[in-house]
Structure 1
Amino acid sequence: MQVELIIFDWDGTLMDSAARIVNCMTAAFVEQDVQPPAPELMRDQIGLGLEEAMQTLCPRARPELISRLIEAYRNRFLGEDPTPTLLFDRAAEVVRALHQQGLLLAVATGKSRRGLDRALVQSGLVPYFHATRCADETLSKPNPQMLFELLDELGTRAEAALMVGDTEFDLLMANNAGMASLAVSYGVHDSERLLACQPLGLIHAIGELPAWLAARA
């Protein structure tokens, strides 16, 4: 496979942000006087768009409550929540190296545009991505629409692209787009669940990606 474009998920793939997401979701439920779901259930929804995640966690909630939960979560996450969010070890190094090799790089994420833009600036990775898509701009994973939009913007065929992600939502989105995928085991979904989606492979640290790509060149 000759890869021209690598599309990364963000949370759980490049950035270790699961703890902050769960803490902010918990705070949002408490603020709205709703019993928070178990942390593992909230963690399991990471990767979906925020509206889809809240609807899954509160299937019987009225739309107005979902809206309040979303707003409370965003205020907390984009505000002063003290939970750190750092790039995984060697993530920045890998992104820079792939960019220097001339590969096209993109992000497809369940984050909001505001959230991703802030994370890109804080991480220093803005110059290395040629295009990005967020869940509040298009359809949520596992719908393939954000991948189709990235392919169209960058003039690349699905056959020449690779989706890298830590959830079944990422891998199913790639399958739905006719795109190959690579799973990472250190994020929010376990390896067995990821392998059931039939990715090309599974890596256990983002630093393994260059060697994995070189072995398949």
Structure 2
Amino acid sequence: MRPRRFDLIAFDWDGTLFDSTRIITRCIQRAVVDVGGAQPTEKAAAYVIGMGLMQALAHAAPDVPKEMYPQLGARYQHHYLAHKDDLVLFDGAISMLNELKQRHHLLAVATGKSRRGLNEALHSVQLHGLFDGSRTADETQGKPHPLMLQELMREFDVPAGRMLMVGDTTHDLQMAVNAGCAAVGVSYGAHEPSEFEALAPLHVAHSVADLRNWLLENA
């Protein structure tokens, strides 16, 4: 077996492993309108995916006053919970993760979701035990701050040069840059792949199959 290049691979969740980008975008739009804000465009709503919830909603709704942020967050949660059973993993994601585990990579999740939200998602798709660790935006710093990756590196005693971040947004890739880690982007999530160029990912995958092939050959 070819030696591993990366001991620890961290994955973003929404838009990278979980096929949730369109639903999250619509929920953000509806929440903003619910509290009297101007509906953000699909591009503006999708752009904030990966940030911590309140950071994302504030960015997507600049005309909503800060005192309305708790209500804005509550309305987003209302719409999202109504659709949570509609969310599924991208085809091929579980088999890809299992193959990486067989190669003895440590696997982690680094997400803008809340701890409660991630735990519910992991339970819903029966992924408990597949990931060795995880960090969420409400228990550390949100993206693109590098802290969640730095904490994972410390937890598993892995240096930055042996860690890889995989994500669908510039927030994911900038977080990797800030942490001194390599990164791979995926183009099937929230951000356009042209936005990744300045962040120099090792690869941009256009499907889960593409991502799987690159990881097995290069990670």
Give the TM-score taking structure 2 as reference length.
Answer: 0.92
Partner residue in 2 for 1:22: 25
Q: How far apart, in 2, do the equivalents of 1:214 and 1:90 lie?
A: 14
Please tell me whether residue 101 in structure 1 is matched to residue 108 in structure 2: no
Partner residue in 1 for 2:16: 13
Q: How far apart, in 2, do the equivalents of 1:59 and 1:73 lie?
A: 16
Unaligned runs of 5+ in 1: none
The letter for the 2-side match of 1:24 is C
Q: How far apart, in 1, do the equivalents of 2:38 and 2:111 lie?
A: 27
Please, which of 156, 159, 163 is the counterpart of residue 165 of structure 2?
A: 163
Q: CA RMSD in A?
A: 1.7
**How many residues matched?**
216
| Large movers: runs of 4+ above 3 Å | none
CA drift at 1:82: 6.9
Q: For residues 83 and 127 of structure 1, do their structure 2 counterparts lie closer, same or farther at Cα, with a shift above 3 Å needed?
A: closer
Please, which of 82, 85, 88 is the counterpart of residue 86 of structure 1?
A: 88
Q: For residues 82 and 153 of structure 1, do their structure 2 counterparts lie closer, same or farther at Cα, with a shift above 3 Å needed?
A: closer
CA drift at 1:153: 1.2
Partner deviation per Cα, 1:150-208 (whole Å, 9 max, x = no partner): 11112211110100011110000000000000111111111111122101111111222
Moved more, 177-186 or 31-40: 31-40
Q: For residues 194 and 127 of structure 1, do their structure 2 counterparts lie closer, same or farther at Cα, with a shift above 3 Å needed?
A: same
Please tell me whether residue 176 in structure 1 is matched to residue 178 in structure 2: yes
The letter for the 2-side match of 1:61 is V
The letter for the 2-side match of 1:187 is G
Indicate if the aligned counterparts of 2:149 and 2:176 stay in contact, CA closer than 8 A. Answer: yes
The letter for the 2-side match of 1:29 is V
Partner deviation per Cα, 1:53-105 (whole Å, 9 max, x = no partner): 1121233533221121012212331x323772111110011111111221100
Percentage identity across aligned positions?
41
Partner residue in 1 for 2:37: 34
Partner residue in 2 for 1:197: 199
Indicate if the aligned counterparts of 1:19 and 1:83 stay in contact, CA closer than 8 A. Answer: no
Please tell me whether residue 43 in structure 1 is matched to residue 46 in structure 2: yes
